């Protein structure tokens, strides 16, 4: 069974700084998806960024980028120029190709300090 580990329960950073959230996973599969989801306080969970395991290039979405290390089974999220609106719970998630049941980590609560 796949597992996803987020070892940082809480983090805080000053506004405009860069922060990196860690995620490791365990799988015996070679083809899979990885995701970062954001859950703002009292708001809907939304997708931040996704990565297909067969792609060597790291995914980027504006201020959000990932460092995908397939051999190390590591998938960290970097948020550049952090903004107050980035304050949220962040969940790392894994899904096998062809199996759309996601396995989630326990989350990292990120607080951006003005």
Q: Point out which residues bind other proteins (CB under 8 A).
A: 4, 6, 9, 33, 35, 37, 44-47, 50, 91, 93, 95, 97-98, 100-107
Distance, CA of 9 to CA of 14 (rounded, Å): 18
β-pair partners for 13: 112
Distance, CA of 35 to CA of 28 (rounded, Å): 18
Closer Cβ to other proteins, 56 or 100, answer by number: 100
Closer Cβ to other proteins, 16 or 45, answer by number: 45
Closer Cβ to other proteins, 61 or 104, answer by number: 104
What's the min distance (Å) between Cβ of 14 and other proteins? 26
Contacts of 35 (CB under 8 A, 6+ apart): 47, 48, 49, 50, 51, 92, 93, 94, 95, 102
Distance, CA of 110 to CA of 75 (rounded, Å): 17
Closer Cβ to other proteins, 4 or 79, answer by number: 4
What's the min distance (Å) between Cβ of 104 and other proteins? 4
What's the min distance (Å) between Cβ of 67 and other proteins? 20
């Amino acid at each position: 069974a796949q597992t996803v580990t987020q070892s940082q329960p809480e983090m805080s950073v000053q506004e405009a700084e860069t922060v990196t959230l860690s995620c490791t996973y365990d799988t015996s599969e070679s083809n899979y998806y990885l995701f970062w989801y954001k859950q703002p306080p009292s708001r809907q969970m939304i997708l931040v960024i996704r990565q297909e395991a067969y792609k060597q290039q790291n995914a980027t979405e504006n201020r959000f980028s990932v460092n995908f290390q397939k051999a190390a089974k590591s998938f960290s999220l970097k948020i550049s120029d952090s903004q107050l609106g980035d304050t949220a719970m962040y969940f790392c998630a894994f899904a096998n190709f062809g199996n759309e049941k996601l396995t989630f980590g326990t989350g990292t609560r990120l607080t951006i300090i003005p």
